[in-house]
Amino acid sequence: MAVALFATNSMVSVYAVNQQLNSATKLFSVKLGATRVIYHAGTAGATLSVSNPQNYPILVQSSVKAADKSSPAPFLVMPPLFRLEANQQSQLRI
């Protein structure tokens, strides 16, 4: 079973001005506290730190996938979706 956090490196916002469609792309990154999370049987779970080094907030969506990276794994990540403020850090609980 593999635990992975996937993040894309851009955010696209689309908006209309004077009936003209405009789009803007903003690059971003998140920093993870570890490259792997090891779950030991008999424990309540594991934690992983996530930090936002940008000067603007980002939306973080987290999930755990099986080793094939497509089917769900028997773990939950809390919180599954949250806003991470600029230059802040948070914890994911698996």
Residue pLDDT, tens place only, 46-80: 999 999 998 888 888 888 888 887 787 888 899 99
The Cα 35–Cα 72 span in angstroms is 20
Q: How confident is the model at residue 82 (pLDDT cuts 50, 70, 90)?
A: very high
Report the domain count for the chain. Answer: 1
d(CA 1, CA 38): 10
Q: Which pTM value belongs to this model?
A: 0.67
* 91 band by pLDDT with thresholds 50, 70 and 90: very high
User: CATH number, domain at 57?
Assistant: 2.60.40.10
Place of tokens 């908006």: 15
Q: Which of residues 16 and 48 earns the better pLDDT score?
A: 48
Q: How far apart are CA 34 and CA 51, in angstroms?
A: 11
Q: For residue 81, what are the β-bridge partners? A: 61
Domain of residue 17 covers: 10-93
The verdict on residue 5 lying in a domain is no
Structural domain includes residue 4: no
Strands 20-27 and 31-32, bridge-based pairing = unpaired
Give the pLDDT confidence score for residue 39 in this predicted structure: 82
Instruction: Report yes or no on 42 lying in a domain.
Output: yes
Residue 18: inside a domain, yes or no? Answer: yes
